Amino acid sequence: MKDGKIPNPNTIHPIPGYNKEIYVKPTIKNPNIIVGDFTYIADSDFESHVTHHYEWNGDKLIIGKFCQIAAGVEFVMNGANHQMNAVSTFPFYTLEGWNMNPPAVSDLPLKGDTVIGNDVWIGQNAVILPGVHIGDGAIIGANSVVGSDVEPYSIVVGNPAKLLRKRFDDELISLMLQFKWWDKSSEEIDSLIPILTCSDLDKVREELKKRI
């Protein structure tokens, strides 16, 4: 470990003297937001990036470990989706004075939990819509609007976000999904950094095969 310092997932500010980048997990107060170790956001606050997240819908935002979340990213939760199977989408029941009870849950377009894998890089100002699942190692381009699921180790861009390309061939993706480096101890991850950051992918492939 560098300079005798051990990476600590419970540190809020992992860059000494810089407040605009935080490890998210130790800052979470909402029990319906679950975030893994070492996932960071380029901001001084995370929960304001999660919108329309109402307790009564019970939806969860689940994010894995080692994700990199850029500034301006928004996770839109199910409370954002108005009833659409009637002639008006106006949410009378939420506003003072209007004579309407909340619609039955079955009348709301609820999409379930939002689930982000591990080592996912989410580019600046990307919007993640309710119920989307994003696989391990995916990359979300800047300003993308992600409305459908994203396969592991793929790059999606645009509005609606579409596949730009897979990051690696199927064999290497499969090896990475078996290897799950993010679940190893900090000491082991530290020793794996030369492999995790090596651009010679054939060498990486061989190293992974030896270790799985």
**Which residues participate in catalysis according to the annotation?**
82
Count helices and strands in the chain by DSSP H and E runs:
3, 15
CB nearer to ligand COA: give 94 or 148. Answer: 148
**End-to-end CA, the chain:** 24
Residue, CB closest to ligand COA: 141
CA distance linking residue 12 with residue 110, whole number of Å: 33
Backbone angles phi, psi at 145, to 5 degrees: -115, 110
Q: Which is nearer to ligand COA, 109 or 158 (CB)?
A: 158
Binding mask 121-150 for ligand COA (x = CB under 6 A): --xx--------------x-xxxx------
Distance, CA of 151 to CA of 134 (rounded, Å): 6
Please name the residues in contact with 54: beta carbons below 8 A apart, sequence gap of 6 or more.
Answer: 77, 78, 79
* 62/145 with CB nearer ligand COA: 145
Q: Which is nearer to ligand COA, 108 or 164 (CB)?
A: 164
Distance in Å, CB of 160 to ligand COA, minimum: 11
Select the residue interacting with ligand COA from 28, 62, 108, 164 (CB under 6 A). Answer: 164
Minimum gap (Å) between residue 20 Cβ and ligand COA: 12
The residue from 58, 102, 158, 160 that contacts ligand COA (CB under 6 A) is 158
Minimum distance, C-beta of residue 68 to ligand COA, in the bound complex (Å): 6
| CB neighbour list of residue 212: distance below 8 Å, 6 or more residues apart | 175, 178, 179
CA distances from 8 to 13, 22, 63 (A): 10, 12, 18
Which residues from 22-81 bind ligand COA, rule CB under 6 A?
A: 70
Q: Tell me how far CA of residue 151 lies from CA of 41, 45, 50, 201, in angstroms.
A: 22, 28, 22, 20
> Which chain residues interact with ligand COA by CB under 6 A?
70, 123-124, 139, 141-144, 155, 157-158, 164
